[in-house]
Amino acid sequence: MAGLADASWNTDLQERGEWKPARGNHDRPAAFSRVAQAVLHAAVEAEMANRLLGLVLVAVLLVAGGIALRPYVEYRLYAATAPRPVEPRGDLAEYERSTIALFERVSPSVVQVVGLGNNRQQVPRGGGAANEEQPVQSGTGFVWDAAGHVVTNDHVVEGATNLAVRLASGEAVRAQLVGVAPNYDLAVIRLEGVRQMPPPIAVGTSSDLKVGQAAFAIGNPFGLDQSLTTGIISALKRRLPTQGGREISNVIQTDAAINPGNSGGPLLDSSGRLIGVNTAIFSPSGSNAGIGFAIPVDVVNRIVPELIKNGRVPTPGIGIVAGNEDVATRMGVEGVVIVRTVPGSPAERAGLRGVNQQTGAIGDVIVAANDAPVRRLGDLTDELERVGVGNKIQLSLNRGGSKSSVAVDITDISQSR
């Protein structure tokens, strides 16, 4: 009974807040519980972190594997291991159709010209006879008429003992030299034994050409036959010196690609007509630099018939030796200074005077020909060619400050050389 009373008294004190049980061994299980919970929570967090790290590593491996396998997968997915289907072509542009038609119409008239020579001093590489014909140079030409005459450059056939021509059809034939005009860098050859003669090229005019109009060149650059290049006419009225020591006037400049092997080939307008004969390029490297030159067709159309008929072209002149133009310019002299006259020439007979050999005084200076101004030798030779051999030319002279005029006969000076 006493025990029950004590318990009841303790309970009452506790309810009134006057007594609290002592904290001792009775609280140790709760503390252990809290520690266990903390340890468990840390373990769960560590497990979750490990799982997250594992997921990240798996993702990284998957990404790395995808990157490594991507080329292989893409190759397998996209490699065209079978013939590709052909896409239908749209209509060609108008300029493409016209260029194709031009080439197909003109190219059969364009040929490759090869000059051959006998090499008797040296055995060719790779064997062969010592006197076997060796290529000297090659270029291009075009059929001029139905008789088989082909026009090319003089420098293409110069030094060749025999000539071979390959037609657009692939047929190779021999050719004979008909005539050359070194002063114009032109030559005419004639085909022999052709099974079917190619058509002659259509001839245009160079008198109405305009800078900026289209230009087309067909030739055999570096031996690559039947090559077409396109461009424009870059300039007109250029002057081009020739191996004959004269100048060709009214030369056409073009940016259509012209390379070694194009020499002698046709320069065409957009109608496929001949407007010039490709003859030279300006290039420090020897290859196309966008500056090519062509002999105007009006000169070609005058010279070629003479070569076919006579094998040569007369060189109109009056029999003078002209002074250096650079020296005359430095001296302030405008016109053609006569250094001397050729004995027995029309100039000597007309009384023209050269430089005084004792004093060095300038004699006559030609300042005009048939009332056309003469500022350089090319102006005089242009007028001489226009008038022609066998006719007279009226020369205006400046002699020591006084003006005079004299008529002089024009002769073929090539016969006196």
- Token code pair at residue 200: 């002659």
- Token code pair at residue 399: 């002699």
295 phi, psi to nearest 5 deg = -70, 130
* Opening angle at CA 215, ends 298 and 377, nearest 5: 40
- Buried/exposed code over 215-235 (b: 16+ C-beta within 10 A; e: otherwise): bbbbbbbeeebbbbbbbebbe
Return the number of other C-beta atoms located less than 10 Å from residue 45's C-beta. 10
- Given 107, 109, 155, 269, the catalytic residue: 155
- Given 109, 227, 263, 345, the catalytic residue: 263
- Given 185, 225, 364, 379, the catalytic residue: 185
Distances (CA, A) of 122 to 160, 281, 397: 17, 32, 57
Question: How far apart, in whole angstroms, are the C-alpha atoms of residue 300 and residue 208?
Answer: 16
Question: How far apart, in whole angstroms, are the C-alpha atoms of residue 166 and residue 113?
Answer: 7
Distances (CA, A) of 90 to 87, 99, 101: 9, 17, 18
Strand-pair category, 247-254 with 133-143: unpaired
Distance between terminal CA atoms of the chain? Answer: 169
- Token code pair at residue 407: 């008529």
Identify the sign of the CA torsion 325, 328, 334, 338.
Answer: negative
Asked about 185 being catalytic, the answer comes back as yes
- DSSP lists the bridge partners of residue 141 as 111
- Catalytically active residues, by annotation: 155, 185, 263
